[in-house]
Amino acid sequence: MDNKDNTTIAAEKCGCTGCCTDSRSYFAEVAEQWDEIRSGYFTEHMRDAAIKKAKAASQGVVADIGTGTGFVAAGLAPHAKKVYGFDASPAMLDVARRNLAGYANVELMESPGDHLPLPDNTLDGVFANMFLHHAPEPLNAIKEMARVLKPGGVMCITDLDTHDHTWQREKMADVWLGFDREDIHRWFSEAGLSNIDIDCAEGTCDACGPDGEVKPLSIFVAIGTKI
Ligand SMILES: C[S@@+](CC[C@H](N)C(=O)[O-])C[C@H]1O[C@@H](n2cnc3c(N)ncnc32)[C@H](O)[C@@H]1O
């Protein structure tokens, strides 16, 4: 009889060395390897093209929500006045601190994405790459990002379109299997954003399935301006 406990079974299924069934334990486990893992999912070219869509907003005071190891913050820092990076994972932030040590205009803080430690109407731009599919309540997260934007400020969210890679729930602690663009459009409107534009990113997320085969997923870039 197999008497393995649930934690061992979950760990074997998802292929990690410990149980990574929730976001915090998953990102604590992969923090040191995240930059390499992420490079197959989202390239610098895709990041820079998305930042460009936010135009002048990216040069002011900006924030990267779910900054992780600071990938988007690193793309913003050379041009922005000030970059805040928020993330719920202390382990990911430790790596971000190393990655961004050369930038005096970057401030990194542990914070949940739906409760940001900033006053209303603070930012010129707010960015979130591959964070939204980890947010338990995506609309609340979008509303919180809109709260901290100044009127005229720009939100830029890059994330996965709806997909059927159910293994990503277990393997990567994903809460949502991507999003319908119509939902994103509606949520941006409900959060008080206008001039909403949702387009394809300049590349795909080349996720590797449990069988080792690469199964590309499409990514959207959603932009909106706070009214
Ligand atoms: C897929 S990673 C993306 C990291 C980074 N944006 C990038 O492009 O490499 C998702 C990040 O969101 C963070 N995260 C997950 N849930 C969160 C929450 N509720 N509040 C803040 N950060 C969260 C994770 O710790 C992780 O760093």
CATH code for the domain in which residue 172 is found: 3.40.50.150
pLDDT at residue 56 in the model: 87
Within a domain: residue 197? yes
pLDDT at residue 124 in the model: 98
pLDDT at residue 170 in the model: 86
* CA-135 nearest atom, ligand 1: 19
pLDDT at residue 136 in the model: 94
Within a domain: residue 160? yes
Task: Examine the pLDDT at 17 and tell me if it is beyond 70.
Answer: no
CA trace torsion 122, 76, 31, 26 (10° rounding): 50
Tell me, using a 6 A CB cutoff, whether residue 158 lines ligand 1. no
Within a domain: residue 200? yes
pLDDT at residue 9 in the model: 33
Exposure string (b/e) for 113-128, b if CB count within 10 Å is 16 or more?
bbebebeeebbbbbbb
C-alpha distances out from residue 202 to 6, 65, 158, 185, 206, Å: 40, 21, 11, 20, 13
Least confident of 39-53, 89-103, 197-211: 197-211
Within a domain: residue 122? yes
Within a domain: residue 10? no
pLDDT digits (tens, 9 = 90+) for 1-13: 333 333 333 334 3
Domain count for the chain, please give it.
1
User: Exposed (0-12), middle (13-18) or buried (19+): which is 79, by Cβ within 10 Å?
Assistant: middle
pLDDT at residue 212 in the model: 81
pLDDT at residue 107 in the model: 98
pLDDT at residue 11 in the model: 38
Beta bridge partners of 199: 221
* CA-24 nearest atom, ligand 1: 25
| Residue predicted with more confidence, 95 or 170 | 95
The residue range of the domain holding 189 is 19-226
Pocket test for ligand 1, best of 134, 160, 219 (most atoms within 8 A of CB): 134
Name the 3-class secondary structure at 87.
Answer: strand
Task: Examine the pLDDT at 15 and tell me if it is beyond 90.
Answer: no
Within a domain: residue 13? no
The total of other beta-carbon atoms located within 10 Å of residue 150's CB is: 16
Tell me, using a 6 A CB cutoff, whether residue 203 lines ligand 1. no
pLDDT digits (tens, 9 = 90+) for 176-200: 999 999 999 999 999 999 999 999 9
Task: Examine the pLDDT at 222 and tell me if it is beyond 70.
Answer: yes
pLDDT at residue 129 in the model: 98
Tell me, using a 6 A CB cutoff, whether residue 165 lines ligand 1. no
Average pLDDT value for residue range 125-139:
97
* CA-27 nearest atom, ligand 1: 25
Q: Whose CA is closest to 72, among 14, 130, 119, 142? A: 130
pLDDT cut 90: percent of the chain above it: 79
Within a domain: residue 48? yes
Average pLDDT value for residue range 138-151:
98
Spatial distance between the Cα atoms of 198 and 220, rounded to a whole number of angstroms? 6
Task: Examine the pLDDT at 111 and tell me if it is beyond 80.
Answer: yes
Pocket test for ligand 1, best of 36, 87, 111 (most atoms within 8 A of CB): 87
Within a domain: residue 165? yes
Q: Whose CA is closest to 142, among 124, 121, 157, 161? A: 157
pLDDT at residue 52 in the model: 96
Q: How would residue 112 be classed by pLDDT, with cut points 50, 70 and 90?
A: very high
* CA-136 nearest atom, ligand 1: 19
